[in-house]
A and B are shown apart, each in its own frame.
Chain A
Amino acid sequence: MAASQFDLGRFSEPALLILISLVGVERHGYAMMEDIAAFSGVTMGPGTLYGALARLEKQRLIEAVPSNHRRQPYRLTPEGQRALERQLDAIHSVTSAGMKRLREANQERP
């Protein structure tokens, strides 16, 4: 996916957390907030959550699941799953490079 298609503006980090929260499971807004707080320690406000949700849905990375409840559950789309994999790969490359340099720096230190 081109970078421009995954341009989530100031919601890029919340969007990533939401995508991770929806891997393999359907969740509504509040459940996402609780899950994100549990696995990342990030307390996401409702305005931030829905700002990111709206962008992700607009980009068809997530979709609403038909429901009779007022609380609307969401799930990842196949495209969203691929986008998440790419994002995590990119983050992994950066963290690996960073860790490698740190190790080298520690080894060179007397």
Chain B
Amino acid sequence: MNASWMLHLYPRAWRERYEDEFRAMLDGHPATPSDMLDILSGAVDAHLRPQVETSGGDPSPRDSRPTSPVQGRLAFFFAHVAFFMILNAVLFIINGLFTRDTWWAWYSLWGTAMVLVIHGGITFPWRSYFGAHLALYGVLNTGLVVINVNNGGPAWSVWTVVTLGVLLVTHGLLAFGRISLFRAHMLATALATLELLVVPLIVDDTVITSLVLNAAQLWVLVLAHWLVRFHRVSLFTAHLVTFIGMGTLLAFSNAIDDSGVLWVQYPLVAWGILLAAHAVLTTRRDRSTGSERASMMLGDLGARAKESPRKSRRRVLGFHAGSFVLGSIILVVLDLMDQASVWWAGWPIGVWLVVLAMHAGWVLMPRYLVGAHLVGWVAGSAALIQIDVITGGDRWWQWPVLWWGVIVALHLGTILPVRTTALGMHIAGAIALSVALFFANEWTGDPTWWWYPVAAIAFSVLMHFGWMLERQMARGGSAARR
């Protein structure tokens, strides 16, 4: 059997170095099916762990045309666009044929669109990813508004539209260099104040006192920022000012509400403990000026994607994890002392855990993109579940969470240090997920639904590799024409 055509499956750089001699070997000795499987396995491995360097050494004329990073990123992005389009088309067909009473496929379309927007932001970075934030703002809020309108009830989506809009505007002004960090902070606070006053007026025709107090709390943060920026106060002093200002406003808020519960003691005690810990840990005064600190903060914001010293990032993560454990213990103790029927500590601990997971994904994932995918999935899933719970939905979140999770799992498969091929990992992942879905179906006792996602998973795995094959053959053909 002639297996020479399989050489097109290898990366271009590899073929430029080894194609002739490999072909010579295959020409003289026809390949068996086992050999063909071995060649396929070798091709996948050559893609996952490049064996041939495209620069340096003794470059041939063809070596001067390596695939540029930009081309690679574009190909990667448009491959994902194509993949998501086909995936969603399949889901809509399944939805339309079998479960027409609920159009759950829209959620998949929404979720994948958001993933693509984030991906697009990395592929086409425009003004420190401002373009990605702009597109994400549009896609995210469109979905939220549609959910809100479909489910009826209070117009909660107005808040996400306006709040994220305020952040987007200030981000844009920062990204285009029109405004300093402090002024951006002040502008965002002013717009947020307007929002907190005006939105309730429009939605409920009233002014909500607690929201006015929230606006005042935001101004306390501006005050702390101003002290650091222009008066060179230490970060601890700024923290103390924030604590006093926020604490006063919280106490006032507690005094005027009708709950009859002195709830303000809990945040004040917990925050006070953290502040005391901060005071103990502050062994030396930070002598950098306010403007230097502002520059550092801006630089940090703009260069999140760049590598920073590994040890430093891990140390900060460790500090965060330790704070989480300590903070959770304090919250649980306070909750137990409270003896209320509602276990309220679960909410802050849960939200904090999501943030910690995001932080850990960012720091620990060997590859930035995979970490970002994982972080996005964890945070996005938590948000979707929360929206469903708040709106009294029918567990629709399971679909976007499931599909997004499958894609993230596939990405994780590419970085696991296992000695197997990408095809094997995909198939193993698909089988494991299918089994999990089957048992989940059995456990919930719902009508049999598990085979829909399982069929789609199998289809998507096959399609992904079909696409890889097609792309490699197309590349091989174009290389041969040159």
Cβ of B53 under 8 Å from chain A: yes
Q: Indicate if the CB atoms of B18 and A46 lie closer than 8 Å.
A: no
| B43 in complex: contacting residue of A10, A29, A47, A72, CB < 8 Å | A47
Residues of A within 8 A of B26 (CB): 46
Residues of B within 8 A of A66 (CB): none
Q: Indicate if the CB atoms of A51 and B42 lie closer than 8 Å.
A: yes
Residues of B within 8 A of A28 (CB): 21, 25
Q: Indicate if the CB atoms of A72 and B21 lie closer than 8 Å.
A: yes
Query: Interface with A: B33-41, B79-87, B322-330, B460-468, which one?
Result: B33-41
Q: Indicate if the CB atoms of A47 and B38 lie closer than 8 Å.
A: yes
Q: Indicate if the CB atoms of A10 and B21 lie closer than 8 Å.
A: no
Residues of A within 8 A of B45 (CB): 9-10, 47, 51
Residues of A within 8 A of B3 (CB): 46
Bound Cα distance A69, B27 (Å):
14
What is the 8 Å Cβ interface bit string for chain B, positions 149-173, against chain A (1 contact, 0 not)?
Answer: 0000000000000000000000000
Cβ of A48 under 8 Å from chain B: yes
Residue of A nearest to B28 (CB): A30
Q: Indicate if the CB atoms of A47 and B40 lie closer than 8 Å.
A: yes
Category for how many chain B residues contact A: 20 to 34
Residues of A within 8 A of B43 (CB): 47
Residues of A within 8 A of B22 (CB): 29, 46, 50
Residues of A within 8 A of B53 (CB): 58
Q: Which of A41-91 contact B (CB under 8 A)?
A: 45-48, 50-51, 53-55, 58, 69-72
Q: Which of A3-60 contact B (CB under 8 A)?
A: 9-10, 28-30, 45-48, 50-51, 53-55, 58
Bound Cα distance A53, B25 (Å):
14
Residues of B within 8 A of A71 (CB): 21, 24-25
Bound Cα distance A41, B39 (Å):
20
Q: Indicate if the CB atoms of A10 and B25 lie closer than 8 Å.
A: no
Contacts A46-B31, A51-B51, A58-B53; is A70 near B38 (CB within 8 Å)?
no
Q: Which of B29-66 contact A (CB under 8 A)?
A: 29, 31, 34-35, 37-43, 45-46, 49, 51-53
Cβ of B306 under 8 Å from chain A: no
Bound Cα distance A28, B18 (Å):
12
Q: Indicate if the CB atoms of B21 and A29 lie closer than 8 Å.
A: yes
| A54 in complex: contacting residue of B28, B34, B38, B46, CB < 8 Å | B46
Residue of A nearest to B40 (CB): A47
CB B222 to nearest CB in A, in angstroms, measures: 51
CB B241 to nearest CB in A, in angstroms, measures: 51
What is the 8 Å Cβ interface bit string for chain B, positions 350-361, against chain A (1 contact, 0 not)?
Answer: 000000000000
Q: Indicate if the CB atoms of A46 and B35 lie closer than 8 Å.
A: yes
CB A5 to nearest CB in B, in angstroms, measures: 15
Q: Which of B1-27 contact A (CB under 8 A)?
A: 3, 14, 17-18, 20-26
CB B30 to nearest CB in A, in angstroms, measures: 11
Bound Cα distance A28, B22 (Å):
10
Bound Cα distance A52, B128 (Å):
42
Bound Cα distance A72, B21 (Å):
6
Cβ of B419 under 8 Å from chain A: yes
Q: Indicate if the CB atoms of A30 and B46 lie closer than 8 Å.
A: no
Contacts A47-B40, A58-B51; is A70 near B21 (CB within 8 Å)?
yes
CB A32 to nearest CB in B, in angstroms, measures: 10
Q: Which of B390-422 contact A (CB under 8 A)?
A: 419-420
Bound Cα distance A15, B29 (Å):
22
Bound Cα distance A69, B28 (Å):
13
Central interface residue in A10, A54, A70, A71, by most chain B CB within 10 Å: A54
Bound Cα distance A10, B420 (Å):
8
Bound Cα distance A70, B27 (Å):
11
CB A74 to nearest CB in B, in angstroms, measures: 10
Residues of B within 8 A of A53 (CB): 18
Residues of B within 8 A of A48 (CB): 38, 41-42
Bound Cα distance A72, B17 (Å):
11
Q: Which of B345-386 contact A (CB under 8 A)?
A: none
Bound Cα distance A29, B19 (Å):
12
Q: Indicate if the CB atoms of B29 and A54 lie closer than 8 Å.
A: no
Residues of B within 8 A of A29 (CB): 21-22, 25
Residues of B within 8 A of A69 (CB): 24
Contacts A45-B34, A55-B51; is A50 near B24 (CB within 8 Å)?
no
Q: Indicate if the CB atoms of B38 and A45 lie closer than 8 Å.
A: yes
19 of the cross-chain contacts (CB-CB < 8 Å) are A29-B22, A45-B35, A45-B39, A46-B3, A46-B22, A46-B31, A46-B38, A46-B42, A47-B40, A48-B41, A51-B51, A54-B51, A54-B52, A70-B21, A70-B23, A70-B24, A71-B21, A71-B25, A72-B20
Given contacts A45-B39, A47-B42, A54-B46, 9 further A-B contacts (CB under 8 A): A9-B419, A10-B419, A28-B25, A30-B29, A45-B35, A45-B37, A50-B42, A51-B46, A70-B21
The 5 closest A-B pairs by CB, nearest first: A47-B42, A45-B38, A54-B51, A70-B24, A72-B21
